[in-house]
Structure 1
């Protein structure tokens, strides 16, 4: 398939399945916390709009949660089928970390999810609120363990290699490896940003259509506040993350910057805004540069230097064009998010937050921007780590199972067809729920009990919503 090797196809297959999966947990993390905030505001202020928004977004959360669970199951099998050598080599570290995620986060979510989705009129308000908080906490714990595992692969610490296998020596060093704190904060903020943009786009759409006006205004206002707070924080977190990456993965930074070498006598490294890193010519062609800005961003000095790609052997360099452009897509979207938040603040001050069709269309267009930025950031991180699966310890080519090109081509095609069919329907269903908009929720009268007792997350969605 396109002259790709079996290892290349295994990488493409894993990248495809992860790319589908990552968007659902990101929204799950953000929506779970948003639901906890909405219920807390309902309990304290008794404004029925918060209650109605809770029920509206809990339906979308249920669908999104279900798709996240299903899409995540596949990857655990891929570790064994396509990356068995990696599992054999590093399973002593990655296996327990993923098991901790199941034992803590997944069990916590599973224990309280049913109460959260179906217990509004069956348990007291305090217990229901506690259940919503526990689900939100569970999503954050799940993210923590997953990132601890992936961060260890980026900056491995606390281990020894005995008889060709990784043996844990210090679990504190393994979990709190050098890149973990920065990547945890960066991912958490990315999830909140993506969810804020998702919520804002929904509110903007309903206001442009003239439907669900009070509810749309409330969700839009809350999303704009979240965006205004988290976008600047994400830029600061990204700066710290970049400095950490420069220290521990300098080849990745060089690829992100399209920086090949420090010219003799050159004072400072320019920032290349656009260009094309040519791996064969070992230069970035058509480069548009801003003098000294690369040094200022990455070393916080005017004349600072950092290693270029030529400092690393050709076989140790990541594929720079993908890393270079995925990083720029992520940063550009981040700047647009900040612009949206600042424009929202200015319009709020002018008391025109809900009255500018152009601004509402901007917010609507930015709806998927958070998810696209997450995918771009993931490509930057994972492609930038290459050719290592465990950075500096195990090469990707040595981690793959011994499969034929034909077998991997067949399974990749099958994944593409099934994923687009199954998750395409799921996304369409979720968008149809958003299109329906919030409705006024009526609690049963005292003594009244519902005869419908759903047992599945998707049962939390009204039967009236059609595909």
Structure 2
């Protein structure tokens, strides 16, 4: 058993499992701000009901995300002690900033968001919702900044030599705004917004198929699809900017993304299989010179190929090629699905398409898979460097950890995380099966004037009529 391989598998597994939940929290945070703002502006009790229901879903994903993220901090000190010593000054600054600007902000207002509906005014509650959403985004900012520094180090100098060498910050803002941080942050946030939006779409489609909470589901569907379409289009733009940065700062990674070996005008592959022995893409369909155009805005400038790098300095090309193209393919499919659904809504034909609603129930898996594939592409594409150009991955491994210990802990983590995921699915299913409460249709606090109550009771009666009609048809 190879301790390096086991340690990498363990960290990959724990971070991949953790990464299911923060994107959902960030995306749902945006949805909560949008629907609560709509409630304050219009007084429509459906928006109040939506805010209450999706807050419960947000709380569940937030709690599981916090629990699964703690493990990685310990892995830095156990499996990757040499790496932690090398990047400690950099990561210490970024993670301290996360604690100050993100964790305190998010956790400080979380109680008001969850339990303050009838204890503070509507505008104060909306402010708390905005702060929780902002805190979730700030958390992503500092995590991505720290990770991006590994991809494109800046604002540092090396102190010490050999095994005792470490990176020390000399320019904090150069570290924060390293060459890839803002491009990667924008791309990551767009993926998170899609994760939250498509969860809303998925649950709404499930309700519509079963003719439950119809008005709630229709309104949530519209909000979710609008957010999904905007985020998916922004994802293309931010992905293009990020690819430009990779071409400039990590040319070996870009070459691995496209299975590009010779330094020449490059093909943009739609799919294929990399033959690493023959150094070519087989069974593929591609657009000749299109990668050159996307990188250089012309069709003739050569793109750096993998042959410019020693074999030991190349990423695992086959794996990176497939995960990258899976991410792109899913992303384009989500754009098409969101655009087609919005077109049907505009034509007033959407809610009659049962086949489309059935497809949308599973749409929640799309951004989750794309986020995972994208993260794997970025991290494996950095190999064999754990800090690009400065520290190789084997050097970052702890010198006292044993393969047997890592294997046992990996098995334990797998069992515990499987149980935790089962609990998450069970609780999520309970909340979705229960659905939104009709009592939440009546706004409370200072906005609950006579007209607001009248509107709320009208919506409640209409919902009851719809449900009775549905039961009669079912009978």
| TM norm structure 2 | 0.90
| Residue 165 of structure 1: aligned partner | 166
2:19 partner SS: helix
Match of 2:134 among 137, 141, 147: 137
The structure with the greater share of residues assigned to helix is 2
Match of 2:413 among 393, 415, 436: 415
Match of 1:333 among 314, 330, 335: 330
| Residues 271 and 293, structure 1, Cα contact 8 Å, conserved in 2 | yes
| Residue 50 of structure 2: aligned partner | 53
CA shift for structure 1 position 206: 0.7
Pairing 1:418-437 to 2, within 5 Å after superposition: 418-437=416-435
Partners of 1:392 and 1:66 in 2: CA distance? 37
CA shift for structure 1 position 387: 0.5
Are 2:5 and 1:8 equivalent residues in the alignment?
yes
| Residue 339 of structure 2: aligned partner | 342
Return closer, same or farther for 1:231/1:444 CA change in 2, 3 Å cut-off. closer
Provide Cα deviations, 1:220-271, integer angstroms capped at 9, x if missing partner. Answer: 01111112222121111111110110000000000000111146xxxx3222
CA shift for structure 1 position 295: 1.7
CA shift for structure 1 position 165: 1.2
Match of 2:349 among 341, 348, 352: 352
Return closer, same or farther for 1:329/1:431 CA change in 2, 3 Å cut-off. farther
| Residue 452 of structure 1: aligned partner | none
Partners of 2:232 and 2:53 in 1: CA distance? 25
Provide Cα deviations, 1:390-423, integer angstroms capped at 9, x if missing partner. Answer: 1000001100112221111111111111111112
CA shift for structure 1 position 444: 9.7
Partners of 1:303 and 1:132 in 2: CA distance? 51
Partners of 1:159 and 1:391 in 2: CA distance? 13
| Residue 63 of structure 1: aligned partner | 60
Task: For structure 1, list consecutive stretches of 5 or more residues without a partner in the other structure.
Answer: 447-467
Task: For structure 2, list consecutive stretches of 5 or more residues without a partner in the other structure.
Answer: 446-475
| Residue 220 of structure 2: aligned partner | 219
Return closer, same or farther for 1:420/1:308 CA change in 2, 3 Å cut-off. same
Give the aligned CA root-mean-square deviation in angstroms: 1.5
Which stretch shifts more, 210-219 or 273-282? 273-282
| Residue 71 of structure 2: aligned partner | 74
| Residue 86 of structure 1: aligned partner | 83
2:272 partner SS: strand
1:161 partner SS: strand
| Residue 188 of structure 1: aligned partner | 189
Partners of 1:284 and 1:180 in 2: CA distance? 31
CA shift for structure 1 position 357: 1.2
Are 2:406 and 1:405 equivalent residues in the alignment?
no
| Residues 384 and 392, structure 2, Cα contact 8 Å, conserved in 1 | yes
Which stretch shifts more, 397-406 or 297-306? 297-306
Partners of 1:161 and 1:139 in 2: CA distance? 32
| Residue 450 of structure 2: aligned partner | none
| TM norm structure 1 | 0.91
Return closer, same or farther for 1:129/1:317 CA change in 2, 3 Å cut-off. same
Are 2:288 and 1:324 equivalent residues in the alignment?
no
Pairing 1:4-43 to 2, within 5 Å after superposition: 5-43=2-40
Provide Cα deviations, 1:319-369, integer angstroms capped at 9, x if missing partner. Answer: 011110111111111111111122122212211122211221222222211
2:381 partner SS: helix
| Residue 231 of structure 1: aligned partner | 232
Which stretch shifts more, 45-54 or 296-305? 296-305
CA shift for structure 1 position 445: 8.4
| Residue 438 of structure 2: aligned partner | 440
Partners of 2:416 and 2:444 in 1: CA distance? 45
CA shift for structure 1 position 280: 4.0
| Residues 11 and 75, structure 2, Cα contact 8 Å, conserved in 1 | yes
| Residues 323 and 379, structure 1, Cα contact 8 Å, conserved in 2 | yes
| Residues 27 and 195, structure 1, Cα contact 8 Å, conserved in 2 | yes
| Residue 257 of structure 2: aligned partner | 256
| Residues 55 and 441, structure 1, Cα contact 8 Å, conserved in 2 | no
